[in-house]
Amino acid sequence: MSSTYTRRDFLKTTSFSAILAGTSCMAGKLGSLDTPMFDDINKTVNTYCEMCSSRCQVEAKVKKGKVTFIQGNSHSKGMNTSICARGASGHSQLYDEQRLVKPLIRVGKRGEDKWMAVSYEEAFNFISEKLSKIKKEYGAKSVLFSAKTGEQFNHLATFTSLFGSPNLFSHVSTCPITYKVAFHHTYGAGLKRDFSNSKYILNFGHNLFEGIAVSKTKKFAKAVNKDSCKLVVLEPRFSIVASKADEWHSVKPGTDLAFVLSLIHVWLRDGKYDKEFVKNYTVGIEQLIESTKTTTPKWQEKITGIKAEVVERIANEIYAAAPSCIIDWGHKTTTGQSEFQRTRAILVANALMGNLEKEGGLFFGKKAKTVNKIANMNIAPTISNPDKHIKIVKDLRIDRASQKGDNIFVSRKYGVLMDIPDAILSKKPYEVKAWVMTRTNPLITVANPEKMKEAMNKLDLIVVNDVYMSETAQIADVVLPEATYLERDEGIQDISSKAPAYMMRNKVVEPINKTLTSYEIFRTLAKKMNIDSKYKWDNINSYRAHQASGNIKLLEKLAKDGYVSFGIPSLLYREKSYVDKFVEKYPSASSNLDENGLFTKMIKFKTPSGKIEIFSQTIEDAFPGYGVPANHDMDVQKGYPYIITSGKTAIHTNGHTQNIPYLNMLMSDNPVWINPITAKKENLKNGDKIFLENSVGKEKATVFITEGIRPDTLFVYMGFGRDSKELKRADGKGTCQSKLLPLDKGPVCSTMITNTGVKITRA
Partner 1 sequence: MKKKFRMIHDENLCIGCQACSVACRSENDVPDNVFRMQVQIETKGIFPDLKMNMQRHSCVMCEDAPCVTVCPTGASFQTKDGLVQIDHRLCVSCKYCVVACPYDARFMNPITKNIEKCTFCYSNRVSKGLEPACVTVCPTDALVFGDINDTTSEVYKKAKESNLLYPKANLGTKPKVAFVPNKKGVSYE
Sequence-distant (6+) residues with CB within 8 A of 647 are 205, 207, 210, 211, 237, 239, 715, 717, 718
Residue 562 as a binder of partner 1 (CB under 8 A): the answer is no
Nearest Cα residue to 590 out of 379, 375, 378, 380 = 375
596 class by beta-carbon count within 10 Å (0-12 exposed, 13-18 middle, 19+ buried): exposed
Residue 662 as a binder of partner 1 (CB under 8 A): the answer is yes
Of the candidates 383, 709, 716, 730, which one interacts with partner 1 according to CB under 8 A? 709
Which residues inside 48-67 make contact with ligand SF4, applying CB under 6 A? 49, 51-52, 54-56
Residue 208 as a binder of ligand SF4 (CB under 6 A): the answer is no
Would you give the DSSP letter of residue 695?
S
Among ligand SF4, partner 1, none, partner that 54 touches (CB below 5 to 8 angstroms by kind): ligand SF4
φ/ψ region of 439 (left if φ > 0, alpha if ψ in -120 to 50, else beta) reads left
Residue 70 as a binder of partner 1 (CB under 8 A): the answer is yes
Smallest distance, ligand SF4 to C-beta of residue 52, A: 3
CA dihedral 718, 719, 723, 726 (to 10 degrees): -160
Of the candidates 46, 47, 57, 89, which one interacts with partner 1 according to CB under 8 A? 89
Residue 17 as a binder of partner 1 (CB under 8 A): the answer is yes
Smallest distance, partner 1 to C-beta of residue 717, A: 13
Output b/e per residue, 687-710; b: 16+ Cβ within 10 A: ebebbbebebbebbbbbbbbebbb
Q: Which stretch binds ligand SF4 (CB under 6 A): 211-219, 473-481, 523-531, 637-645?
A: 211-219
Residue 55 as a binder of partner 1 (CB under 8 A): the answer is no
Residues 534, 389: contact at Cβ < 8 Å?
yes
Which x/- pattern, by CB under 6 A, does the window 72-91 give for ligand SF4? -----------xx-xx----
Which CB sits closer to partner 1, 11 or 425? Answer: 11
Residues 455, 424: contact at Cβ < 8 Å?
yes
Residue 689 as a binder of partner 1 (CB under 8 A): the answer is no
Which CB sits closer to ligand SF4, 55 or 106? Answer: 55
Which CB sits closer to partner 1, 28 or 87? Answer: 87
Residue 266 as a binder of partner 1 (CB under 8 A): the answer is no
CA dist., res. 332 & res. 182, Å (int): 12
φ/ψ region of 665 (left if φ > 0, alpha if ψ in -120 to 50, else beta) reads alpha
Among ligand SF4, partner 1, none, partner that 445 touches (CB below 5 to 8 angstroms by kind): none
Residue 423 as a binder of ligand SF4 (CB under 6 A): the answer is no
Q: What is the 3-state secondary structure (H, E, C) of 187-220?
A: CCCCCEECHHHCCEEEECCCCCCCCCCHHHHHHH
Q: Count residues contacting ligand SF4 (CB under 6 A)?
A: 13
Of the candidates 246, 286, 594, 621, which one interacts with partner 1 according to CB under 8 A? 246
Which CB sits closer to partner 1, 38 or 120? Answer: 38
Task: Provide the pairing of β-strand 434-438 with 362-363.
Answer: unpaired
Among ligand SF4, partner 1, none, partner that 491 touches (CB below 5 to 8 angstroms by kind): none
Which CB sits closer to partner 1, 54 or 517? Answer: 54
CA dist., res. 80 & res. 513, Å (int): 33
Instruction: Provide the 3-class DSSP secondary structure of residue 500.
Output: coil
The pair phi, psi for residue 663, each rounded to 5°, is: -80, -35
Q: Which stretch binds partner 1 (CB under 8 A): 246-254, 340-348, 434-442, 473-481?
A: 246-254
Among ligand SF4, partner 1, none, partner that 120 touches (CB below 5 to 8 angstroms by kind): none
Nearest Cα residue to 473 out of 52, 115, 50, 24 = 115
Of the candidates 181, 462, 651, 753, which one interacts with partner 1 according to CB under 8 A? 651
Which CB sits closer to ligand SF4, 56 or 452? Answer: 56
First to last CA, the chain: 33
Of the candidates 27, 41, 240, 425, which one interacts with partner 1 according to CB under 8 A? 240
CA dist., res. 566 & res. 47, Å (int): 18
List interacting residues with partner 1 (CB under 8 A). Answer: 2-8, 10-19, 68-72, 80-85, 87-89, 91, 209-210, 212, 214, 217-218, 221-222, 225, 238, 240, 242-250, 307, 309-310, 650-651, 661-663, 665-666, 675-676, 706-711
List interacting residues with ligand SF4 (CB under 6 A). Answer: 49, 51-52, 54-56, 83-84, 86-87, 212-214
